[in-house]
C-alpha cells in the first residue's frame, strides 16, 4: 500500500511547472506568428514586384490597360475545336510557322479540364493574318477553327430570349391587356 500522497506543496509546484510550460508555448507561438508575418510581407512584396502591379490603384491606369488589352487582342487569335489532350507547346508548334508565339492560353473549367479552345498571342500583329490561313487545319486529328480574337466589351452580351415558364401561364404579346380578374376552377365555366 505504498501509494503516493500529494501534499499542498506538490500541487502548487505542479501548477507552477504547468504555468511555466504554458508561458514557453505562448512565447514560441508569438515568435512563430512574427516570423510568419515577416514571410508573408516578403512574399507580397515579391509578388508585387513580379506582377508589376502597384499596391494602390491608380485612377489613370484604367485607360492605359484598356489600350494595352486592345493592342494584345490585335496580336491574338482564337483557336476553336482544340483537342482536350493538346498541350500549349503543341499548339505553339502548330502556329510557329506564322510568326513568333508570345503565349498560348488553353482555357479550363473550374475542375482544371480543358474547355476545347485556346488563344494564341503573337509578338507581331502581321502573324495574325498568317495564322488565319491555318483555319480548318488539323491538330490531333481535329479540324481547328481559327479566327481573330475580338476585344471583349463589358456589358455587351448578346440578348438571349428566356424560355417561357410553364407555371406562369401563357400571356402572349399583349402587354397592355390586363390579366383576367377571375380564374374559374376546373370543370366550371
Please compute the mean of the pLDDT values over residues 16-24 and round it to a whole number. Answer: 91
**Dist CA 157 CA 43 (whole Å):** 38
Residue 8 has pLDDT above 90, yes or no: no
Q: Point out which residues pair with 139 in neighbouring strands.
A: 142
Sequence ranges of the domains in the chain: 18-49, 75-148
Fold entry, domain 75-148: Alpha-Beta Plaits (3.30.70)
Please compute the mean of the pLDDT values over residues 58-81 and round it to a whole number. Answer: 79
Nearest CA to 134 out of 82, 95, 99 is that of 95
- pLDDT at position 76 is 94
Pairing of β 138-139 and β 76-80: unpaired
- pLDDT at position 53 is 47
Please compute the mean of the pLDDT values over residues 53-70 and round it to a whole number. Answer: 62
Tell me which residue has cell 512574399: 43
Nearest CA to 106 out of 61, 137, 139 is that of 139
- pLDDT at position 175 is 57
Please compute the mean of the pLDDT values over residues 61-73 and round it to a whole number. Answer: 75
Residue 10 is given by DSSP the state H
Rounded to two decimals, the pTM is 0.51
**Dist CA 177 CA 161 (whole Å):** 22
Please compute the mean of the pLDDT values over residues 63-71 and round it to a whole number. Answer: 77
Nearest CA to 41 out of 31, 28, 55 is that of 55
Query: Among 17-21, 66-70, 167-171, where is mean pLDDT lowest?
Result: 167-171
Model confidence at 173, pLDDT cuts 50, 70, 90, reads: low
Span 105-136, pLDDT tens digits: 999 999 999 999 999 999 999 999 999 999 99
What's the whole-number average pLDDT of the chain? 80
Please compute the mean of the pLDDT values over residues 135-143 and round it to a whole number. Answer: 93
Residue 87 has pLDDT above 80, yes or no: yes
Cβ neighbours of residue 82 closer than 8 Å, sequence gap 6 or more: 91, 106, 114, 116, 117, 118, 139, 142, 144
**Dist CA 31 CA 37 (whole Å):** 10
Tell me which residue has cell 500583329: 125
**Dist CA 146 CA 82 (whole Å):** 10
Residue 52 has pLDDT above 50, yes or no: no
Amino acid at each position: 500500500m505504498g501509494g503516493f500522497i500529494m501534499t499542498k506543496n506538490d500541487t502548487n509546484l505542479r501548477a507552477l511547472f504547468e504555468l511555466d510550460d504554458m508561458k514557453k508555448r505562448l512565447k514560441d507561438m508569438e515568435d512563430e506568428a512574427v516570423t510568419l508575418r515577416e514571410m508573408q510581407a516578403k512574399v507580397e512584396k515579391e509578388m508585387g514586384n513580379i506582377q508589376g502591379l502597384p499596391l494602390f490603384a491608380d485612377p489613370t491606369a484604367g485607360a492605359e490597360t484598356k489600350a494595352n488589352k486592345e493592342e494584345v487582342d490585335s496580336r491574338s487569335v482564337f483557336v476553336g475545336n482544340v483537342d482536350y489532350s493538346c498541350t500549349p507547346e503543341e499548339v505553339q508548334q502548330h502556329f510557329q510557322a506564322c510568326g513568333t508565339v508570345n503565349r498560348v492560353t488553353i482555357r479550363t473549367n473550374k475542375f482544371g479540364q480543358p474547355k476545347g479552345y485556346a488563344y494564341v498571342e503573337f509578338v507581331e500583329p502581321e502573324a495574325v493574318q498568317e495564322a488565319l490561313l491555318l483555319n480548318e487545319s488539323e491538330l490531333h486529328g481535329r479540324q481547328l477553327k481559327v479566327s481573330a480574337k475580338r476585344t471583349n466589351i463589358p456589358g455587351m452580351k448578346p440578348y438571349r430570349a428566356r424560355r417561357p415558364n410553364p407555371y406562369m401561364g401563357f400571356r402572349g404579346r399583349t402587354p397592355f391587356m390586363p390579366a383576367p380578374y377571375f380564374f374559374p376552377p376546373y370543370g366550371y365555366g
